[in-house]
């Protein structure tokens, strides 16, 4: 432990106020933000050298102000304030960090490869992925160029206007892909209505996917989360997986929007 982190106890009543409290809160916040994975309460106590009661009070204050957030397992990660503001120059990385526990839950429940995608440069950029546990699964989607309308993630971003279709004829990698814009627009309307997108054999025969949107502060779609795998396996449980994705992404959307709702209406 460093000397500053484990300095002797302050006089009674002083540890919750003044520069010492700020220094201690900053130490705890730095530990969470710089960690490569969610941090447990015990790890924070051990790393900081602070009393458990002091750590608990300071972490509660950081959580109230949106600087940290707890996962379903009670571990600490950078909060929505960091995701939406502090990481302006690397927002996707912070979003991926915040979404990681959700991606792991989805992969654990569905056993399928789970991925997080954002709109970037007119296409879908995959910023995080968790492998499924089936022996036969989907590939690593990083650096794979996929026509937007042949991807479940792409359909989500198209349906909510986070991306626009390029001009020209639609690519048809298989005969299951949408060949006309009118048919695709009907499909995107259904995506908005049911809350999730699907693809069946549209990019490659035997490969399918399901995806749902993540909403930001202004109810704009900032990302999409999806699973992909063999068509026979996904076709049999499309609705089940779709509804599960919607449930999970709504939780993350609320997390992102919480900071805005806490501010309340402006005067």
225 strand-pairing partners: 116, 212
Query: CA 201 → CA 20, 55, 204, 206, distances in Å?
Result: 60, 52, 5, 6
What's the pTM?
Answer: 0.66
Token duo for residue 84: 């939406």
Q: Which residues pair with 241 in a beta bridge?
A: none
Per-residue model confidence (pLDDT) at position 2: 38
H runs (alpha helix) in 111-224:
152-159, 181-194
Main-chain phi, psi angles of 124, to 5 degrees: -95, 125
Beta strands, E only, 92-184: 113-120, 123-130
Residue pair 103/127 in contact by the 8 Å Cβ criterion? no
* Cα 119 to Cα 221: distance, rounded to the nearest angstrom: 9
d(CA 224, CA 222): 7
**Per-residue confidence (pLDDT) for residue 218, from 0 to 100:** 79
Q: Indicate the CATH number for domain 85-263.
A: 3.30.450.40
**DSSP 3-state of 48:** helix
Q: Are 248 and 240 in contact (CB under 8 A)?
A: no
Q: Are strands 76-78 and 197-200 parallel, antiparallel or unpaired?
A: unpaired
The residue to which tokens 């520069």 are assigned: 19
Mean pLDDT by runs of 10 across the 267 residues of the chain is 39 56 92 88 94 94 89 85 57 81 93 92 88 68 77 96 89 91 94 96 93 89 94 93 96 75 46
pLDDT at 137: 57
- For residue 92, what pLDDT is reported? 77
Site of tokens 């106590």: 45
Q: Which residues contact 26 (CB under 8 A, 6 or more apart)?
A: none
Tokens of 267: 């005067």
Tokens of 64: 């109230």
Amino acid 84: pLDDT: 59
Q: What's the token pair of residue 63?
A: 């959580």
In this structure, which CATH number among 1.10.1740.10, 3.40.50.1820, 1.10.10.10, 1.10.3210.10 belongs to the domain 18-78? Answer: 1.10.10.10
At residue 261, the pLDDT reads: 53
Residue 256 parent element (H or E)? helix 238-263
**Domain layout of the chain by residue ranges:** 18-78, 85-263
46: left (phi over 0), alpha (psi -120 to 50) or beta: alpha
Token representation of residue 133: 């546990």
């Amino acid at each position: 432990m460093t000397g500053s982190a484990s300095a002797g106890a302050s006089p009674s009543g002083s540890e919750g106020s003044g520069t010492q409290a700020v220094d201690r809160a900053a130490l705890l916040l730095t530990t969470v933000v710089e960690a490569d994975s969610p941090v447990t309460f015990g790890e924070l106590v051990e790393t900081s050298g602070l009393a458990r009661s002091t750590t608990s009070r300071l972490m509660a204050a950081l959580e109230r102000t949106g600087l940290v957030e707890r996962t379903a397992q009670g571990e600490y990660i950078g909060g929505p304030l960091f995701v939406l503001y502090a990481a302006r120059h690397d927002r996707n990385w912070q979003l991926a960090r915040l979404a990681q526990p959700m991606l792991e839950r989805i992969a654990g429940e569905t056993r399928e490869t789970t991925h997080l995608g954002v709109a970037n440069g007119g296409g879908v950029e995959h910023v995080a992925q968790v492998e499924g546990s089936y022996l036969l699964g989907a590939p690593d989607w990083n650096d794979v160029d996929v026509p937007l309308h042949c991807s479940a993630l792409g359909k989500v971003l198209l349906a909510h206007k986070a991306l626009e279709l390029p001009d020209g004829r639609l690519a048809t990698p298989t005969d299951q892909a949408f060949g006309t814009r009118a048919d695709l627009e009907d499909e995107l309307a259904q995506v908005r209505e049911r809350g999730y997108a699907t693809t069946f054999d549209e990019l490659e025969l035997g490969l399918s996917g399901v995806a749902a949107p993540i909403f930001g502060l202004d109810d704009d779609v900032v990302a999409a989360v999806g699973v992909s795998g063999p068509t026979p396996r996904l076709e049999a449980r499309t609705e089940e997986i779709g509804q599960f994705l919607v449930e999970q992404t709504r939780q993350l959307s609320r997390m992102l929007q919480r900071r805005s709702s806490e501010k309340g209406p402006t005067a």
